[in-house]
Structure 1
Amino acid sequence: MTLFRTVVPAAEPVTLSEAKRTLRLDHDSEDELIGGLIRAAREEVEASCGLALIDQGWRLALDRLPRSGRVLLGRHPVREVLSVTVYGSEGEASLVDPASYRLDGTSRPARLHFRAVPAPGVAMNGIEIDFAAGFGEAGTDVPDLLKRAMLVLVAHWYEFRASFSGADQPVSFPPGYERLIAPWRSRRL
């Protein structure tokens, strides 16, 4: 099972001006650095919580379907399933009829239940599920707690940017960051 992003977000949940207000900066000389910190903070929050903050495309590649016929999609919230493709023994692709599966997007993780799908003809990554995930197209759609967690990370990383090299980052997470993302983290029993 392999999950990877196919379409990157068109925007960031936190704007450059919001980050600069948090940092109390009024010059433009470090805008590129701050933009990179915003992007890194979004990716960290998404990875830590299994979320897609801004609308983006994802692909889940499977060797075969589980016996239960239920596949868990590893990003939340899932907005829609775009396609399910099964590859034959010669590598030919065939789309699965959307009537043969049903999405439960309210669960976390989202579940895709199949009634019947042909077995793939290739041994590895014979089934691909393309789906769209995210809270919306704009930062205003993202919950405030997650945006605040991003701003806390940006401020922390900005403050300690000269203490450690880029290869050593992130060295630490600020106090309170874990508390901000805790309600959004997936828990396992």
Structure 2
Amino acid sequence: MTLIQTDPPLAEPVTLAELKAHLRLDATDEDGLLEGLIRVARTHLEAVTGVALMSQGFRLALDDWPQDAVIQLMRTPVQTVDAILLYDADGVARNLDLSGLLLDGIAHPARLVVTQRPRPSQPINGIEIEFTAGFNSINEVPPELKRAILIHAAHLYEFRGAVSADMQPASIPAGYDRLIAPWQRRTL
């Protein structure tokens, strides 16, 4: 099972102005750095929670259908299932009919039931499910997740000289885990 982001979000859930107000900064000379820190904080939050914060496209590749009928899409909230592709032995894709799908887009992770389940002929990544996940607007993003991004980006900004941008996130600020706890994936 492999999850690939196909379309990045068109906007970040926290604006540059919000982060600058949080940091009490007026100068514009570090705007590029701050925008990068917002992106790093969002990406980290999405990775540890499985929540797509802004609308973005994904492709889930499967070798075969799961034993039970439920497919976990690894992201939430899922807005739409855009396509299900089944590959033959020559690597040619065939679109499956989407009419018989049952989607629980707000489950954590989102769940999908596909009634038509023909076997793929390609032994590796023979099934691809393309879907759109995330909140439609900044206003829909839960406030505790926006706050987590703000404090994480501020923390990264505080240590900007000690750790290079390509090595971020180097650490997590105090209180971050409590903010995101209700959104984290729990496994046994």
TM-score when normalising by structure 2:
0.96
In 2 relative to 1, CA 13–106 (structure 1 residues): closer, same or farther, beyond 3 Å? closer
Q: How does 1:123-134 map to 2 (within 5 A)?
A: 123-134=123-134
Equivalent residue for 1:12? 12
- Check conservation: 1:84, 1:127, Cα contact below 8 A: yes
Superposed CA deviations along residues 31-78 of structure 1, whole A, max 9, x for unmatched, are 000000011111011111011000000000001101223211000111
CA distance in structure 2 between the partners assigned to 1:33 and 1:48 by the alignment: 23
Q: CA deviation at 1:95?
A: 0.7
In 2 relative to 1, CA 38–161 (structure 1 residues): closer, same or farther, beyond 3 Å? same
Equivalent residue for 1:98? 98
> CA RMSD for the aligned pairs?
1.2
- Check conservation: 1:56, 1:134, Cα contact below 8 A: yes
CA distance in structure 1 between the partners assigned to 2:123 and 2:100 by the alignment: 22
In 2 relative to 1, CA 106–167 (structure 1 residues): closer, same or farther, beyond 3 Å? closer
Q: CA deviation at 1:117?
A: 1.6
The aligned amino acid for 2:64 is R
Q: CA deviation at 1:103?
A: 1.2
Q: How does 1:58-97 map to 2 (within 5 A)?
A: 58-97=58-97
CA distance in structure 2 between the partners assigned to 1:102 and 1:128 by the alignment: 17
Superposed CA deviations along residues 106-129 of structure 1, whole A, max 9, x for unmatched, are 322111112232111111001000
- SS of the counterpart of 1:140? helix
Q: Bigger CA drift: 110-119 or 127-136?
A: 110-119
In 2 relative to 1, CA 168–116 (structure 1 residues): closer, same or farther, beyond 3 Å? closer
Q: Report % sequence identity.
A: 50
- Check conservation: 1:57, 1:131, Cα contact below 8 A: yes
Equivalent residue for 1:173? 172
Equivalent residue for 1:110? 110
CA distance in structure 2 between the partners assigned to 1:70 and 1:171 by the alignment: 36
Q: Bigger CA drift: 60-69 or 165-174?
A: 165-174
TM-score when normalising by structure 1:
0.95
CA distance in structure 1 between the partners assigned to 2:88 and 2:168 by the alignment: 43
Matched length: 188
The aligned amino acid for 2:175 is G
- SS of the counterpart of 2:99? helix
- Check conservation: 1:100, 1:117, Cα contact below 8 A: no
- Check conservation: 2:40, 2:168, Cα contact below 8 A: no
Equivalent residue for 1:183? 182
